[in-house]
């Protein structure tokens, strides 16, 4: 048996350390340590158990969802304007333009 080296202890309050020792004694800490030491000496190597190979589970195939076909929106046909309406619009446009030009002329002068 080797001699244990004496450790330089840092000063701590005696009261606290004594309290701790008492607590350890009460809990059977020393006895436990002694028992563990004995166990360590007579330790035998355990044989390793062979691990059982796990069977792989088969993955279930997912069913493919059918894509819904999108309905095409029908384009609304523009109604052809009647000749009379077209002529009226043109006259209206011309009047607007002439009024704008007259205003511009006034602004210039």
pLDDT tens per residue across span 4-36: 777 777 666 666 777 877 777 776 666 777 777
- Report yes or no on 12 lying in a domain: no
Which range marks the domain in which residue 91 is found?
Answer: 82-109
Dihedral through CA 99, CA 103, CA 104, CA 107, nearest 10?
Answer: 170
> What is the predicted pLDDT for the residue at 40?
64
Domain count, the chain: 1
pLDDT at residue 78, as a whole number: 78
Are the C-beta atoms of 31 and 38 separated by less than 8 Å? Answer: no
Residue 18 lies in a domain: no
The pLDDT assigned to 49 comes to 78
6-18 per-residue burial string, b: 16 or more CB within 10 A, e: under 16 = eeeeeeeeeeeee
Q: Is residue 43 scored above 60 in pLDDT?
A: no
Cα 109 from Cα 35, distance rounded (Å): 119
**In angstroms, what is the C-alpha Rg of the chain?**
51
Could you report the per-residue pLDDT of 49-99, keeping only the tens digit for each? 777 787 777 778 888 888 888 888 888 887 777 788 888 888 999 999 999
The verdict on residue 42 lying in a domain is no
What is the predicted pLDDT for the residue at 84?
A: 81
- 52 located within any domain: no
Mean pLDDT of the chain: 77
For 22, 39, 43, the CA distances from 25, given in Å and listed in that order, are 5, 20, 26
Work out the burial of residue 35: count CB atoms within 10 Å of its CB; fewer than 13 is exposed, 13-18 middle, 19 or more buried.
Answer: exposed
Tell me, yes or no, whether 102 lies in a domain: yes
103 in any annotated domain: yes
């Amino acid at each position: 048996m080797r001699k244990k080296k004496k450790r330089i202890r840092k000063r701590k309050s005696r009261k606290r350390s004594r309290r701790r020792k008492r607590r350890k004694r009460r809990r059977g800490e020393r006895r436990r340590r002694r028992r563990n030491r004995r166990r360590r000496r007579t330790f035998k190597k355990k044989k390793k158990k062979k691990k059982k190979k796990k069977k792989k589970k088969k993955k279930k195939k997912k069913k493919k969802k059918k894509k819904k076909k999108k309905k095409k929106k029908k384009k609304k046909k523009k109604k052809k304007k009647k000749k009379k309406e077209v002529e009226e619009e043109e006259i209206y446009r011309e009047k607007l333009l002439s009024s704008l030009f007259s205003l511009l002329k006034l602004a210039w002068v």
